[in-house]
């Protein structure tokens, strides 16, 4: 008979499945620089993402701020695989504290409540928040979802142009704030969310760039 787990054995499995979502209770960790924003990324409102609790792909109802993975993996950037330990354990976010793989009741209670958003962290930064709001308006996933649905049905030219316009602006604003504003390139995934050139793959498309032009190509 297998032994019933009642405490963490430090296997690191949860850390290898992706970083946590941030909640209002975690705000001070970012504001005090304990967790730097360059290690974060944002899943934006209406963006499709894999919901760990529902275990399916679902559109986000608001911003979801998460810790980045290591290189091409989901493993939390703060997880030391060699030592099999969390490098920010004493300052780990709320979800990490609540998660017990043998009893998920606590994490389920807090999972979708009091989520921290970019507005909570950036709205007082003059100029930057205006850029974020303008980007959200021009590159909203609600608009992108609509265009993609049309493209999958009858490939209307207007929907294709709308999709490519979103992709182009999303790429340009990232380049602009880095080159002209001196922003750390690693912070763009937090400020503007993940690049649409990457997230478009969840819709069954990939991007090819030739010169200054983008092409939308179905993934076979």
DSSP one-letter string for the chain:
-PPPP-S-----TTGGG-PPBPBGGGHHHHHTTSS-GGGEEEEPTT-EEEETTTTEEEE-SS-EEEE-BSTTS-SBTTEETTTTEETTGGG--HHHHH--TT--HHHHHHTTSSB--HHHHHTTSTTHHHHHHHHHHHT-HHHHHHHHHHHHHH--HHHHHHHHHHHHHHHHHHHHHHHTT---GGGHHHHS-S-HHHHGGGGTEEEEEETTEEEEEE--
Tens of pLDDT, residue by residue over 85-142, are 999 999 999 999 999 888 889 999 999 899 999 999 999 998 999 999 999 999 999 9
Tens of pLDDT, residue by residue over 163-217, are 999 999 999 999 999 999 999 999 999 999 999 999 999 999 999 998 888 999 9
Mean of the pLDDT values across residues 136-164? 91
pTM: predicted TM-score of the whole model, two decimal places: 0.91
């Amino acid at each position: 008979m297998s032994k019933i787990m009642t405490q963490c054995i430090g296997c690191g499995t949860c850390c290898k499945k992706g970083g946590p979502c941030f909640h209002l209770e975690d705000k001070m960790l970012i504001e005090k620089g304990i967790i730097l924003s360059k290690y974060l990324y944002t899943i934006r409102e209406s963006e499709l993402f894999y919901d760990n609790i529902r275990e399916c792909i679902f559109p986000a109802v608001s911003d979801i701020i998460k810790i980045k993975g290591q290189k091409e993996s989901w493993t939390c950037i703060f997880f030391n695989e060699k030592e099999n330990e969390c490098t920010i354990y004493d300052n780990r976010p709320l979800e990490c504290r609540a998660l017990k793989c043998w009893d998920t009741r606590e994490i389920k209670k807090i999972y979708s409540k009091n989520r921290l958003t970019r507005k909570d962290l950036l709205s007082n930064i003059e100029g930057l928040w205006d850029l974020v709001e303008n980007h959200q308006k021009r590159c909203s996933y609600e608009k992108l979802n609509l265009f993609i649905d049309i493209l999958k049905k009858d490939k209307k030219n207007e929907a294709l142009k709308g999709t490519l316009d979103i992709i182009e602006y999303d790429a340009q604003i990232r380049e602009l704030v880095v080159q002209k504003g001196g922003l750390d390139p690693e912070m763009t995934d937090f400020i503007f969310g993940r690049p649409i050139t990457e997230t478009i793959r969840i819709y069954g498309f990939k991007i090819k760039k030739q010169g200054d032009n983008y092409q939308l190509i179905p993934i076979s």
